[in-house]
Amino acid sequence: MTNNLQNNFMREAIRLSIENVKSGNGGPFGAVIVKNGKIIATAVNEVTSTNDPTAHAEIVAIRKACKTLDSFQLDGCEIYCSCEPCPMCLGAIYWARPNAVYFGNSKEDAAEINFDDNFIYKELDISLNERKLPTIQLLRNEAQSAFIQWQKSEEKIAY
């Protein structure tokens, strides 16, 4: 069950999304990352203003929060998104390992305004040779050398 503080964090993500629409700097998406009841990072969609297709609000917020925490993980954090995360953002959220993610609009709501990620979900479920984007493996044996070195390395930081 949500509480007033969680609702306030979600309202901030929503406020950021509305502000971003008004500013014309990107899509209608905002994100807030919270740790111990305090906001540690906020972000909006910056795709068009930075010419970066990965600059979704969640990704930008994760980068900011990790920098603030000096960590590559968001242990003990919660992410509040104005919209259900797309496949890219969801993947990044899982890698960041927060405690929870909350969202306002659904992916179906996003599809209704032409932010439809359903084709990506479908592409992930089919074999490489059936995908619309040619996805071809090359030089696997050579590429394996980096993995072998990683396995043997005593300098690596597991994540």
Enzyme catalytic residues = 58
Q: Is the pLDDT of residue 59 over 60?
A: yes
How far apart CA 8 and CA 10 sit, in angstroms, is: 5
What is the model's pLDDT at position 156?
Answer: 86
Q: Mean pLDDT throughout 37-59?
A: 97
pLDDT confidence tier of residue 83, bands split at 50, 70 and 90:
very high
pLDDT class for 2, splitting at 50, 70, 90?
low
3-state secondary structure of 86: coil
Give the pTM: 0.92
Rounded to whole angstroms, the Cα distance separating 131 from 118 reads 14
The count of other CB atoms within 10 Å of the CB of residue 82 is: 28
Cα dihedral 144, 147, 153, 155 sign:
positive
Nearest 5°: the CA angle 77, 60, 120 is 95
Locate all alpha helices (DSSP H) within 28-134, ordered by sequence: 47-50, 57-69, 87-96, 107-112, 118-124
